[in-house]
Amino acid sequence: MVNDDAAHFIKTPKPEYPLLWNVIIVDLPDPRKPSLERLYSLEFYQGCKNRLSRDGIMVTQATSPVFTSKAFWCIEKTMREAGFNTLPYHTYVPTFGDWGWVMGTMLPLDIVKKRLSTADLSRLSLRYLNKELLQSIFLFSPADMIDSSTVEVHSDFDPVLYRYYQEGKWFD
């Protein structure tokens, strides 16, 4: 586990850490300021892809598909543009509401989905996840889906994510 500035770590390999990783978990603050949106950029995800092993998995926090749907689907589209096969998912988090993540991999998605559907969760001591919930987190209501042509890829040279996030439907 590495706790470091994500952009710097991805760009600047350190000899004490492996060059390639099997799992990259990117848990970031929401892109509620322009300075934070750089960590959701095409260039950042391309860097992550370059640091991921061939059969590795990357997951990033991706805001809410309900409250900030354009931001959520922008993150998913940006990861796809970076070369990942993506699998968006969401679940209810008591402190956040309906919250989403995007999984990225170079593996074919049918292999990933099969592994997830056959995962034996009974041997793990999980408080909030069971087999049924694991299958349901990949389902989105039609109201939460948007046409991907309505969102742009977010890049360092064409930043759009902060604007999409600000357009969110937050409750007062």
Instruction: Assign 3-state DSSP to the chain and report helix, strand, coil percentages, each to 5.
Output: 40, 20, 40
Q: Identify whether the C-beta of residue 93 lies closer than 8 Å to the C-beta of residue 63.
A: no
Please give the Cα distance from 108 to 63 (Å, whole number): 25
Per-residue pLDDT at 172 exceeds 60: no
* pLDDT attached to residue 89: 95
Rg of the chain taking only CA atoms, in angstroms: 16
Decide yes or no: CATH 3.40.50.970 for domain 6-156. Answer: no
Q: Identify whether the C-beta of residue 42 lies closer than 8 Å to the C-beta of residue 155.
A: yes
Per-residue pLDDT at 78 exceeds 60: yes
Please give the Cα distance from 40 to 161 (Å, whole number): 8
Query: Hey, which residues are catalytic here?
Result: 27
103-109's contacts with Cβ under 8 Å and 24+ in sequence apart are 103/57, 103/58, 103/59, 104/45, 104/48, 104/49, 104/57, 104/58, 104/59, 104/60, 104/79, 105/52, 105/55, 105/56, 105/57, 105/58, 106/49, 106/52, 106/54, 106/55, 106/56, 107/55, 107/57, 109/85
Domain map of the chain by residue range? 6-156
Per-residue pLDDT at 55 exceeds 90: yes
Higher pLDDT, 132 or 42: 42
Q: What is the pLDDT of residues 7-52, one digit of tens each?
A: 878 888 777 777 889 999 999 999 999 989 989 999 999 999 999 9
Query: How far is C-alpha 84 from the geometric centre of its chain's CA atoms?
Result: 11
Nearest to 162 by CA among 53, 27, 29: 29
pTM, entire model: 0.92
